[in-house]
């Protein structure tokens, strides 16, 4: 499985390769899910919550991220599932065998 830091800062995939934003990873890689959301890094916070839930074998708890998102934007979302759709993050992908760090 891809590491948490790599998944949180992945910007895309090329087959079985995850493309990771190295600059963001170095700067914010030590932050928790809640801290990422407070910093306005909502996609990264969502990825962190999805990763942690997958590692624990449960559903992600996204209410805190949804609240932080709604507090910081004019485009309010009604449900946590809308966060997943908006950012395109649903699960930790299987079969990632390589990580390419850029930046």
What's this model's pTM, rounded to 2 decimal places?
Answer: 0.94
Distance, CA of 11 to CA of 22 (rounded, Å): 10
Q: Which residues make beta-bridge pairs with 102? A: 21
9-68 confidence digits (pLDDT tens): 999 999 999 999 999 999 999 999 999 999 999 999 999 999 999 999 998 999 999 999
Nearest to 8 by CA among 38, 52, 70: 52
pLDDT of res. 19: 98
**Pair of tokens at residue 73:** 């934007």
Distance, CA of 83 to CA of 87 (rounded, Å): 6
Whether pLDDT at 1 is above 90? no
69-100 confidence digits (pLDDT tens): 999 899 999 999 999 999 999 999 999 999 99
């Amino acid at each position: 499985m891809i590491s948490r830091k790599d998944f949180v800062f992945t910007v895309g995939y090329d087959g079985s390769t995850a493309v990771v934003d190295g600059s963001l990873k170095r700067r914010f890689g030590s932050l928790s899910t809640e801290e990422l959301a407070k910093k306005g890094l909502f996609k990264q916070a969502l990825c962190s919550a999805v990763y942690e839930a997958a590692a624990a074998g449960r559903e992600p708890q996204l209410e805190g991220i949804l609240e932080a998102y709604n507090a910081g934007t004019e485009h309010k979302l009604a449900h946590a599932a809308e966060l997943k759709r908006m950012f395109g993050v649903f699960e930790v992908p299987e079969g990632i065998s390589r990580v390419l760090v850029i930046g």
